[in-house]
């Protein structure tokens, strides 16, 4: 299991250095920066003996570039949605796994897992969280739920540091993308309410993300959807 740490538009170079240090503390070295701030002397100083992690870090412009070839994309959030609209809570950010629960689900798996860490001020946006297969949140006090970015990262890295590789290969990103696309197409074929389609596809994405599908399982589901579409087309053609 390869855990890739993706920092999305970090504002402070000190946090970048601190996260690099935390990564090395727990055995991680794959760091990607999405549109980061410049890293000055303070950032390098905060990295301490993990300067090699910063030196190897790659800089990209989009999350899509950062998650290329990732089998699973994990979004992190410290936001609470108690006062948000019900459909957002149901479809977008819940249920959230704890870091421990995430590590338990990834046991015995093989592949690349991209962990997205958001901005210090607003975290990951709703649109960015919608791109994730699973969501993780650290259960903190309701009085002050949002942690410092580097502190939250250290907690997450600690829980994931115990992972050992396995033989269960996760589905490829391309197969998962195709599965979401075919699900959307199937919903339209059965005249599912258009205004509900995207939220429903997102819900399916959350459900399937939590099952950590293998490539074989994904291809089996795609085969079932193909058969359903064939039957639907056959019935519709007979009515004409």
- Alpha-carbon distance of 230 to 185, in angstroms, equals 12
**Residue 155: exposed, middle, or buried by beta-carbon count in 10 A (0-12, 13-18, 19+)?**
middle
Q: Are residues 111 and 188 in the same domain?
A: no
CATH code for the domain of 53? 3.40.1280.10
Q: Are residues 124 and 206 in the same domain?
A: no
Give helix then strand counts, H and E, for the chain: 11, 8
pTM confidence score: 0.77
Q: Are residues 162 and 180 in the same domain?
A: no
- Alpha-carbon distance of 69 to 65, in angstroms, equals 9
Q: At what angle do helices 194-210 and 173-189 cross, to 10 degrees?
A: 140
Number of structural domains the chain divides into:
2
Residue (of 134, 229, 219, 101) closest to 171 by Cα position: 219
- pLDDT score for 94: 56
Q: Are residues 147 and 51 in the same domain?
A: yes
User: CB-hemisphere CA count at 13 Å for 71?
Assistant: 21
Enclosing domain of residue 201 = 173-239
Q: Are residues 181 and 230 in the same domain?
A: yes
The residue-averaged pLDDT of 85-94 equals 49
Last residue of a domain, one of 110, 138, 167: 167
Q: Are residues 155 and 100 in the same domain?
A: yes
- Alpha-carbon distance of 34 to 204, in angstroms, equals 27
Q: Are residues 188 and 75 in the same domain?
A: no
pLDDT at 4 over 90: yes
pLDDT at 83 over 60: no
pLDDT at 137 over 50: yes
Last residue of a domain, one of 141, 167, 193: 167
Q: Are residues 198 and 140 in the same domain?
A: no
pLDDT at 143 over 90: no
Q: Are residues 46 and 127 in the same domain?
A: yes
Q: Are residues 156 and 181 in the same domain?
A: no
Q: Are residues 110 and 191 in the same domain?
A: no
The residue-averaged pLDDT of 93-110 equals 83
pLDDT tens digit string along 21-73? 999 999 999 999 999 999 999 999 999 999 999 999 999 999 999 998 898 89
Last residue of a domain, one of 167, 194, 221: 167
Distance of CA 137 to the CA centre of its chain: 12
Q: Are residues 28 and 137 in the same domain?
A: yes
pLDDT at 111 over 60: yes
Strands of the sheet with 58-60, listed across from one edge = 58-60, 30-34, 2-8, 112-117, 72-76, 134-136
């Amino acid at each position: 299991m390869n855990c890739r740490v993706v920092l999305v538009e970090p504002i402070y170079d000190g946090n970048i250095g601190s996260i690099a240090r935390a990564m090395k503390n727990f055995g991680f070295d794959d760091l990607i920066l999405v549109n980061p701030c410049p890293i000055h002397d303070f950032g390098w100083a905060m990295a301490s003996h993990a300067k090699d992690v910063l030196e190897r870090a790659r800089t990209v412009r989009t999350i899509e570039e950062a998650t290329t070839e990732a089998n699973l994309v994990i979004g992190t959030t410290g936001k609470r949605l108690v006062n948000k609209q019900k459909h957002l809570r149901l479809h977008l950010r819940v249920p959230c796994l704890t870091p421990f629960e995430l590590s338990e689900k990834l046991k015995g798996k093989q592949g690349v897992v991209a962990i997205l860490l958001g901005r210090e001020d607003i975290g990951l946006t709703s649109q960015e969280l919608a791109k994730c297969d699973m969501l993780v949140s650290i259960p903190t006090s309701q009085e002050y739920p949002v942690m410092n970015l580097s502190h939250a990262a250290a907690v997450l890295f600690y829980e994931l540091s115990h992972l050992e590789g396995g033989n269960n290969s996760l589905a490829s990103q391309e197969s998962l993308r195709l599965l979401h696309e075919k699900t959307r197409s199937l919903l339209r074929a059965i005249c599912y309410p258009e205004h509900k389609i995207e939220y429903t596809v997102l819900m399916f994405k959350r459900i399937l993300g939590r099952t950590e599908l293998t490539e074989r399982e994904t291809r089996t589901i795609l085969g079932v959807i193909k058969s359903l579409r064939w039957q639907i087309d056959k019935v519709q053609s007979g009515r004409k």
